[in-house]
Structure 1
Amino acid sequence: MSHAVASAGEGGFCRLMKHRAVQSLGWAVGGIAILATLWLVGGYFIAHNPTTKTFVKFGLVPTLEAFPELWGMGKIQNALAASGFRLGSGLLLAIVIGVPIGILMGRIKWFRDFTNSPFQFVRMISPLSWMPLAVLVFATWNGSIIFLISIAAVWPVMFATAAGLAKVDPNWFKVARNLGARPMHILTKVIMPAITFDVLSGIRLALGVAWIVLVPAEYLGVTSGLGYAIEDARETLSYNHLTAMVVTIGIVGYFLDSILVALIKRYSWHRGN
């Protein structure tokens, strides 16, 4: 009897989750449909206005027609590969620097008080304003762009890590020490599991900032990447190629963000979910 009740309960829960998933998908498709409709209507008015006819290729249909052409020429793949390398390198550098410093800020009060003001000051400087200095310091444009991405992305990771560690119950550390745990064990068995949710949330914010900085950083100096592809399309008046690359940036960025959202949900157990 109890087994039958449990099975019925599990079945009801599964049906509820499927219903919610279908409902969420429906809302997402509806939102995209509205956006596409507005784009289509805007393209129609642009095409039928003598003063804006030059920009007719910004419309939805010319943009969709440009995707097979760009893919066939390998431009999308090459741009994604170049930008992906720069984004991944910069984000990895931000994580390697941001997480350890964030842990120190969360655990050591005097270090947090000592570093908070200078870190906040540097954080408020626009990442792109570092470009002239980056060009002088680094021998290659790749190095300059990776530096710009890392200096933009390090702050969300660092402060999210520090904030997450500050919320950890101090009794956890006392219990661990009383049980004979060494500092490395405390780091790997107490700190990292406790702050994984916050670190991933910080990385998600960092990814958004890095993705935004990446494209304008690629406008200058380099001959590859998404930013270069947009600038090249603008200079050659290939407006359908330009909008196709803009859409590609949106799609890839949304995909990357979705991966991190899934990881955050996976490691949100200690938040009561």
Structure 2
Amino acid sequence: MLGAHDSTRDAGRAQRWAARLAWPLLGIVISLGLWALAARYISDVEVIRAAFAPQAGLKALVHLLGSGELWPHISTSLQRIAIALLLAMAIGVPLGLCLGLSPLFARISGPTFQFLRMVSPLSWMPLAVMALGVGEAPVVFLLSFATVWPIMLNTAAGVAALDPAWMRLAQSLSATRWETIARVVLPGCISHILTGFRLAVGIGWIVLVPAEMLGVSSGMGYFVLDTRDRLAYDELMAGIVVIGGLGFALDWLARTISSRWTQRGKQG
């Protein structure tokens, strides 16, 4: 009886996994079909149509990964986004705490922050190059500028959502300002901070590619620009696939960290 029960349970688990994988696989098949259809009508030149076809792009992807040509660009892009996110966290979280804890600071700085937030990060490219020169610094600046806002605003929202009773309890225990922030405010709004971080990852990855077309010699943005100049359209499509795959993986990682922290908080 136990063996039959275990077999039924394993079969049900296998069916659930199959159902969970079936829809994403169907989406991938449909996407490849649309890709192939679009490649047929992208140009009247047969060579260009063949270069944009899925089989050409995927073949180029396997070659680029196997030869190691693409890995330095991937590594450089991931390093840049990591540095930018660390800077955005170091700036955005304290600013968000100030906005949430100080109504006066929020009234003074709020309009300025909202104005700057609505300026496209890419519009700062010329000024970033003039001020920081050509190289890593302007790219990291643009990424940090793009990613700081969701972290800052979500931190402020987390502070606003805190239970006022927690703050009154900290005051009744004669906690200092820093003790209140470290032991009450930050733990209470960490889920909002992680949500802002996830949003920042998505925004930063989108801005990364055009930012890396700014006078650097490595990175996925540079790789896409270089393939265009070399008319290597199959490699260009391979680069686009890699950019999408890496962005998906980064978002999945940020989402997993956020959900696990939330579950841990509920269990605690």
Q: Tell me by how many angstroms 1:84 deviates.
A: 1.3
1:184 aligns with 2:178: yes
Aligned to 1:160: 154
1:35 aligns with 2:31: yes
Q: Tell me by how many angstroms 1:176 deviates.
A: 1.9
Match of 1:245 among 239, 249, 254: 239
Matches of 1:191 and 1:127 in 2, distance apart? 30
SS of 1:268's partner is helix
Structure 1 residue ranges without an equivalent (≥5):
1-7
Aligned-pair RMSD on alpha carbons?
2.7
CA 118–59 in structure 1, closer or farther in 2 if over 3 Å, else same: same
- Cα offsets for 1:127-176 (capped at 9, x unmatched): 01101111111144200000000011111110011011101111101112
Structure 2 residue ranges without an equivalent (≥5):
none
SS of 2:215's partner is coil
Which letter maps to 2:152?
Answer: M
Which letter maps to 1:96?
Answer: A
Match of 2:187 among 182, 193, 198: 193
Which letter maps to 2:21?
Answer: L
Q: Tell me by how many angstroms 1:207 deviates.
A: 1.1
Which letter maps to 2:59?
Answer: E
Aligned to 1:233: 227
| Worse-superposed segment, 237-246 or 15-24 | 15-24
Which letter maps to 1:40?
Answer: A
Which letter maps to 1:235?
Answer: D
Matches of 1:267 and 1:244 in 2, distance apart? 35
Matches of 1:93 and 1:164 in 2, distance apart? 20
Q: Is the 8 A contact 1:106 1:112 kept in 2?
A: yes
Match of 2:63 among 52, 62, 69: 69
Q: Within 5 A, what are the aligned runs for 1:79-228? A: 79-228=73-222
CA 271–17 in structure 1, closer or farther in 2 if over 3 Å, else same: farther
Q: Tell me by how many angstroms 1:88 deviates.
A: 1.1
Q: Is the 8 A contact 1:99 1:157 kept in 2?
A: yes
Aligned length: 261
Which letter maps to 1:165?
Answer: V
- Cα offsets for 1:20-46 (capped at 9, x unmatched): 665433322221121122223444x34
CA 35–67 in structure 1, closer or farther in 2 if over 3 Å, else same: same
Matches of 1:203 and 1:264 in 2, distance apart? 9
Matches of 2:61 and 2:167 in 1, distance apart? 55
Which letter maps to 1:123?
Answer: R
| Worse-superposed segment, 136-145 or 225-234 | 136-145
Aligned to 2:52: 58
- Cα offsets for 1:82-111 (capped at 9, x unmatched): 111211111111110000000110111111
The sequence identity of aligned pairs, in percent, is: 37
SS of 1:223's partner is coil
Q: Normalising by structure 2, report the TM-score.
A: 0.88
Aligned to 1:4: none
| Worse-superposed segment, 120-129 or 21-30 | 21-30
Q: Is the 8 A contact 1:46 1:53 kept in 2?
A: no
Which letter maps to 1:130?
Answer: W
Which letter maps to 2:140?
Answer: I
CA 118–25 in structure 1, closer or farther in 2 if over 3 Å, else same: same
Which letter maps to 2:83?
Answer: S
Q: Is the 8 A contact 1:152 1:209 kept in 2?
A: yes
Matches of 2:228 and 2:13 in 1, distance apart? 46
